[in-house]
Chain A
Amino acid sequence: MNAVLEVSALTKQYDGFRAVDGLTFSLAEQTATALIGPNGSGKTTTLSMLAGLLRQSSGTIRFSGSGKDPRSAIGFLPQYPKFFPWMTAIEYMELAAGLSGLGGREVRTACEKTLGFVGLGEAGKKRIGGFSGGMKQRLGLAQAIIHRPALLLLDEPVSALDPAGRREVMEMLKELGESSTILYSTHILNDAEEMTDQLLFLRNGKLIEQGPLREVREKYGDSGYRVLFRDPEAAERFAGAAPWAGSADGSAVMISGEEVSMQELLRYASEHPEGITDIGRSSVRLEEIFMKVVEKP
């Protein structure tokens, strides 16, 4: 896949403080990448540089495609998007669309369609000053996608939303991911787990880990299989397997490839067709990986 964005040795230096330190990574077309790290790790600074708001101290940012202003191919949503409260949502969208290069009859249609997509179709004529935090977040997403950008940069896109709103926005982002490349920062690791092709871990401005989610999992976690036996005694046969925390009677076990071969398990299953009631892939949670990564020396 082609890289939409290539970042090399990206650095942002303030007086006596390096907010971002030599980041190098690339984003492939139509992939979703989560930028993860503790507070103050440089996530917002990185996104601000990529969005063209901040000038980097050194390093390069290269967008693929045309040589025109790369900002026309970028949609940006800040963590706390601020709007002109005296404007209506449709007026704001028309301004955003016009400034992004859209023109003519397509503007009104695109604005109404996009507001509908983010669930603000009914609120188009209302002043933004009366919007709730969730509505503003949705409008922020709408203004970022109005021009169908090739690259979407989202800073904590769902942090201000309630669980239902978060779910809806995540679904929208998944849909957008089919046509755009997405780079988003988040503290909500469940969401990152759900919609991520690549992870970038930042700490103190440095990229300390990166890679596809699966590879990062393999590196930091003990992946295996969660097997639920009908007979607890059978479970005990698989020596070394730790009882699954969720099972009251100890009949569910977590089996890793190192402790028991899959062949042995399959043999047991063929000999006892009713002996295994459930089997599934189990993997370490991103939150655990996050803690391991940020704490690593």
Chain B
Amino acid sequence: MKQFGLFLGKEWREQARSFKLVWVPLVFIFFGALEPLTYHFLPQILESVGNMPEGSEFTLPEMTGADVYASLTGQYQTVGLLVLVLAFMGSLSGERKSGTGTLLYVRPISYAAYYMSKWTAAVLLAAASLWLGYGMAATYIVQLYDDMPGFSDLILFLLVMAVWIIFVVTLTLTASAALPTGGAAGAALGILFIGMMIDGLVGTYWTWSPWKLQSYGLAYLMGGPDTGDLAGALAVTSVLIAVLVMCGILMARRNAAKARV
């Protein structure tokens, strides 16, 4: 526990001094502000830059707050995931490659404390960034849109999305424990996006999958999900997270020998 505290302190300092603590939330906040504004002012934007033929007219669908959240979630599923993977892909592999890990590994450290401190710092930053992004979106949705999802539904949605983000971060950190930085990024992004593709193509055949979480979360904003399916998906995701954490700790220990001396 003492080592966990020491390592966590080091992680926070690193996040603060590398400005990760600033730029990661900023990306999410930026998209959180952009999405509701873009949809609200889309007719005016098209009119001013659209070069539409004289007399042409088309009708845009009426967007609700839930629709904006769905669109924003789509952004976070691409740009957001990319940002998180890039931010954390070198967490362990970078310390091995640079040699900064060497002087840690020669001490009687607990690799569980080492990995979990990185995991805790990364999960908190990622979840906070995500929530800040959705929070920023909420401030505009409240003012610009008529139909705002209920507060309790919004909280449940944010919690489900947090579980998905924890899965993403855990996958990235474990990839970083197992592989060099480039390989870790490739593996994490590959698994995430290939999983999404597979889920999009043949996802109707199963209901319990981490890749279903975002749609189940969004369902809270649009009438309520099938709670049985949601519970199953959450359970499967939690088990996968636990397995990934254990693998990450083992790989961090095993690969310590690859640290540059």
List residues of chain A with CB under 8 Å of any chain B CB: 44, 48, 51-55, 68-69, 71-72, 74, 76, 78-84, 86-87, 91, 95-96, 98-101, 103, 140, 143, 155
- Which of A51, A71, A99 meets B6, CB within 8 Å? A99
Chain A residues closer than 8 Å to B52, beta-carbon distance: none
For residue A75, which residue of chain B has the nearest CB?
Answer: B106
**Contact A98 B2, beta carbon cutoff 8 Å:** yes
A186 vs chain B, min Cβ distance (A): 16
- Which of B3, B102, B105, B107 meets A96, CB within 8 Å? B107
Q: Is B224 an interface residue (CB 8 A)?
A: no
Chain B residues closer than 8 Å to A71, beta-carbon distance: 106-108
Chain A residues closer than 8 Å to B6, beta-carbon distance: 95, 98-99
Apart from A76-B106, A99-B107, 12 more pairs, CB < 8 Å: A48-B261, A74-B106, A81-B99, A82-B102, A83-B100, A84-B14, A86-B13, A87-B13, A91-B13, A95-B10, A98-B3, A99-B104
A100 CA / B17 CA spacing, docked (Å): 25
Chain A residues closer than 8 Å to B13, beta-carbon distance: 86-87, 91
**Which one, B125-133, B140-148, B194-202, B252-260, is touching chain A?**
B252-260
A74 CA / B107 CA spacing, docked (Å): 8
For residue A94, which residue of chain B has the nearest CB?
Answer: B6
User: How many residue pairs bridge A and B at CB < 8 Å?
Assistant: 72
**Contact B103 A53, beta carbon cutoff 8 Å:** no
Q: Is B18 an interface residue (CB 8 A)?
A: yes
**Contact B108 A53, beta carbon cutoff 8 Å:** no
**Contact B107 A53, beta carbon cutoff 8 Å:** no
Assuming the contacts A76-B103, A91-B13, A95-B10, asked whether A53 and B260 have C-beta atoms less than 8 A apart, the reply is no
In the A-B complex, the 7 residue pairs with the closest CB atoms = A82-B99, A69-B108, A86-B17, A76-B106, A99-B107, A71-B108, A98-B6
A80 CA / B99 CA spacing, docked (Å): 9
Assuming the contacts A71-B108, A82-B260, A86-B14, asked whether A103 and B2 have C-beta atoms less than 8 A apart, the reply is yes
